[in-house]
Amino acid sequence: MSTNYDVIILGSGPAGFACAMQSSKLEKKVLVVEANPNYLGGTWINTGTVPSKALREAARTIHEFQSQFGFQEEKKPYDRFKMKDLLQFKDEIIERENDRIQRYLDKNHVDVVHGFGRLEDSQTVEVTKQNGETESFTGDNILISTGSSPTPPTDFTIDHDKILDNQSLLELTHIPRRLVIAGAGVNAIEYATIFALMGTRVTILNNKSDYLTFLDHEIKEILEETIEENQITVRNNVTLDDVDFNPLRVCTEARYHHIDQPEETRVIEAEHVLYIGHRHPNSEDVGLRNISLPTDKSGFIKVNDHYQSNIENIYAAGDVIGFPSLASASFSQGRRAACHMFGVPTPDEPANFPHGIHSIPEISHIGLTEEEAKEQDIDYTIGRAYFKNTTQADLSIHRKGMLKLVFDTQSLKLLGVHIIGAQACDLIHVGQSVMAYDGDIRYFIRHVLNYPSYSEAFRTAAFNGINRVYKAGVKYKNILNDED
């Protein structure tokens, strides 16, 4: 059976979903091919972004309860709460999100077929269903948004019992008392802070000399303070060699060595080891060779600024094209790809977009760090606001944090915003909006911001920066009234 569509989309993650919705709004006939036989949303909804953030919210709620009602502190969260109860919340979220996606697609008359899609030629997709049956569909345009998968370890096997990946971690029946995390990227830091606040003793094994090096140095310092306060141990420059269960000590042993001392094996005892590998694109076996579509050496599909490959009607978006591999960016990529397919002009993509780390506390940033401003020889000034001096943070018992503004000393133009603390991933969009319109820090002083609120930190940081420019204590009436 061959059915013609305006666009066929491989994958229903954020890029695929956004492309489907935008295409349907343009009154195009759309087909989404999803490999998962039961669910939509891919890693975004089912095994990655949404479930991990659901667990984070549960951990944050527990921490807030423990912090506010100190008489319960003699009991660790793992003694008071069952993991299955926390994950029931996660499962309910996933179910609702899947229903929501299906409802939106149905409402906009987007067809969905479950099965593994493979390109036969530049306009034909063969779908192999779970029962082995195949069906072919044709489309004028094709979007490849098949996402990415974690690379498996080379020296041991993930058994989903003692050695976990990010999916089996979310299926635990208990809160572990000791957890080793192999990896120190964003996901590792997120999970480390989540489990630490539930009472787990966490050790991170990092094969690099440092972690999250892209953060502004002051934000990183506060993160390191938080990690130390939560008794998270970070071991840098080490390699995980093997993981095995020791029946005599009834524990899982993680064996590792320091990169500079390969002959000296060290052992950490834990209940579980969480292995977080690098992610590789799901570009194999989708028929790229059939249409001679090139990838880079890592398997990422090469695209132009419109997410169009070197084949005119073939587009790609999301993790399968590489950086930045963020759900937030993938939504935009899928929408922009759809617009280009059907001749709808879109403004140039903004140079700056926010990054969010859903650790506890949250971290988010956009624009230049202080280090980058210095390297570019910009005459810059810093404005800071500490959450401990903000009423809302005091009320919410989230006093740890800082909001930092980087701005041009002469024009006061906002160049970067860096936040660590509660609601950082929401707050960042205030700074993003000002930067998008080439605004300066006077915006935060001239406009009324809700009180009490975390947004108040923007005003405090702006005043702090103005004081630095005009040598604290000197009147700055002229600069506040200057419209030039």
Sheet with strand 402-408: strands edge to edge: 355-357, 363-367, 414-420, 402-408, 380-386
pLDDT of residue 484: 43
More confident residue, 343 or 348: 343
Q: Is the pLDDT confidence value at 407 over 50?
A: yes
pLDDT (mean) for 456-477: 80
Q: What is the pLDDT of residues 128-159, one digit of tens each?
A: 998 989 999 999 999 999 999 989 898 889 99
User: Where are the strands (E) in 4-69, listed by range?
Assistant: 4-10, 30-34
Q: What is the pLDDT of residues 236-268, one digit of tens each?
A: 999 999 999 888 888 999 999 999 998 899 999
Q: Is the pLDDT confidence value at 348 over 70?
A: yes
Lowest mean pLDDT among 43-52, 106-115, 204-213, 441-450: 43-52
Confidence label for 113 from pLDDT (cuts 50, 70 and 90) = very high
What three-state secondary structure class fits 203?
Answer: strand
What count of other Cβ atoms lies within 10 Å of the Cβ of residue 295?
18
What count of other Cβ atoms lies within 10 Å of the Cβ of residue 148?
23
Q: Is the pLDDT confidence value at 462 over 80?
A: yes
Beta strand pairing call for 238-246 and 111-114: unpaired
Q: What is the DSSP code string of 465-477?
A: HHHHHTTTTS--H
| Closest by Cα among 356, 349, 324 to 148 | 324
Cα Rg of the chain, angstroms:
25
Instruction: Say what the alpha-carbon torsion angle 275, 214, 402, 225 is, to the nearest 10 degrees.
Output: 50
pLDDT of residue 1: 43
| Closest by Cα among 165, 170, 204 to 188 | 204
Angle in degrees, 0-180, between the axes of helices 456-469 and 424-436, rounded to the nearest 10? 50
pLDDT (mean) for 280-307: 94
pLDDT of residue 78: 65
CA distance 456 to 394: 13
* Strand partners for 417: 366, 405
- pTM for this entry: 0.89
Q: What is the pLDDT of residues 361-396, one digit of tens each?
A: 999 999 999 999 999 999 999 999 999 999 998 888
Q: Is the pLDDT confidence value at 420 over 60?
A: yes
Is-contact 97 107, C-beta < 8 A?
A: no
pLDDT of residue 61: 80
Q: Is the pLDDT confidence value at 2 over 60?
A: no
Q: What is the percent of the chain with per-residue pLDDT over 70, rounded to a whole number? A: 93
Q: Is the pLDDT confidence value at 72 over 70?
A: no
Instruction: Say what the alpha-carbon torsion angle 249, 250, 251, 253 is, to the nearest 10 degrees.
Output: 50
Ordered by where they begin, the domains of the chain are 4-149+280-341 (3.50.50.60), 163-277 (3.50.50.60), 355-481 (3.30.390.30)
pLDDT of residue 474: 44
User: Where are the strands (E) in 48-133, listed by range?
Assistant: 111-114, 116-121, 124-128
Q: Is the pLDDT confidence value at 56 over 50?
A: yes
CA distance 19 to 339: 8
Rounded to the nearest integer, the mean pLDDT of the chain is: 90
Confidence label for 49 from pLDDT (cuts 50, 70 and 90) = confident
CA distance 402 to 386: 4
Instruction: Say what the alpha-carbon torsion angle 473, 478, 482, 484 is, to the nearest 10 degrees.
Output: -90
Number of residues in the chain: 484
Helices (H) and strands (E) in the chain, counts: 15, 22
Bin 442: left if φ > 0, else alpha if -120 < ψ < 50, else beta. alpha
Confidence label for 357 from pLDDT (cuts 50, 70 and 90) = very high
Stated as kind and residue range, the H or E segment containing 275 is strand 272-275
Confidence label for 475 from pLDDT (cuts 50, 70 and 90) = very low
Q: What is the pLDDT of residues 156-208, one digit of tens each?
A: 899 999 999 988 888 888 889 999 999 889 999 999 999 998 889 999 999 99
More confident residue, 322 or 173: 322
